[in-house]
Chain A
């Protein structure tokens, strides 16, 4: 099935560093979402974006809805050990409830 292109696949960073990851698609989405998943658990919603160009923050997390509506970016500032996990982007097209997910970015934070 269709999946979004998410990069990087994995990141290894030191505590306190900033992190950037992105998600691209060949088609337009009306909504972009970012989820975090811990091992053995379901994804947890972090940020939702509804408008092209929109920039939204949730604590140390900031995400942007790309102008072309074909991409989105997530930044994490001043990373801490509990940021470890897999971050997924997801998109939703108009008229559908279906979320299309990327393959995830696995984040490791070294204390």
Chain B
């Protein structure tokens, strides 16, 4: 088990373009989380899935943001019509909320730069 993986690790895009990020959680982790982290700040919660159900969403997740987890395994986060303010590190985490994986384990993140 190699941990949470995220793809791509870096993305540079022009303002107005759409981007999609992928997160593969640790196998058998049924809970998956997305956070956003800007420079000098701690991660901020965006949304949470239990299996394929999206159960919690932050007000930070504007209409331009959408997250899916169609089969309860990997998840995608799409940002439409990107703005410069979207530049940040997008972190994914997973957990089972049982046993050794009770808490959230984070992936390496996808760094987005909007020019």
Is the Cβ of A99 less than 8 Å from the Cβ of B104?
Answer: yes
Given contacts A33-B103, A42-B4, A48-B103, contact A100 B108 (CB under 8 A): no
Partner-A contacts on B (CB < 8 A): 4, 31, 33, 35, 40-45, 48, 55-56, 58-60, 91, 93, 102-109, 111
A96 to B50: give the CA distance in the assembly, Å.
12
Q: From A13-21, A60-68, A101-109, give the one contacting chain B.
A: A101-109
| A103 x B42 contact (CB < 8 A) | yes
Pick from A45, A88, A97, A104: contact of B48, CB under 8 Å: A97
Nearest 8 pairs of A and B residues by beta carbon:
A101-B42, A42-B106, A98-B45, A97-B48, A43-B106, A88-B42, A42-B108, A101-B43
> Residue of B at shortest CB range from A33?
B103
* B42 and A1 contacting across the interface, CB-CB below 8 Å: no
Residues of the B chain whose Cβ atoms lie less than 8 Å from the Cβ of A42: 4, 91, 93, 106-109
A1-22: contact bitstring with B at CB < 8 Å (1 yes, 0 no)? 1011010000000000000000
The answer, yes or no, to whether A76 is at the interface (CB within 8 Å) is no
- Complex Cα distance, B106 from A34, in Å, reads 13
Residue of A6, A97, A101, A103 with most chain B CB atoms under a 10 A cut-off: A97
Q: How far is the CB of B24 from chain A (nearest CB, A)?
A: 13
Residues in A whose Cβ lies below 8 Å from that of B102: 48
Report which of A40, A48, A98, A101 forms a contact with B58, defined as CB distance below 8 A: A98
State in angstroms the CA–CA spacing of A103 and B31 once bound together: 25
Q: A1-B60, A97-B55 are in contact. Are A43 and B48 (CB under 8 A)?
A: no
Once the chains are docked, how many angstroms separate the CA of A7 from the CA of B55? 32
CB atoms of B42 and A90 under 8 A apart = yes
* Residues from chain B with Cβ under 8 Å of A6 in the complex: 42
Contact between chains at A99 and B58 (CB < 8 Å):
no
Query: Do A45 and B58 have beta carbons less than 8 Å apart?
Result: no
Q: Which residues of B lie under 8 Å from residue A41 when comparing CB positions?
A: 108-109
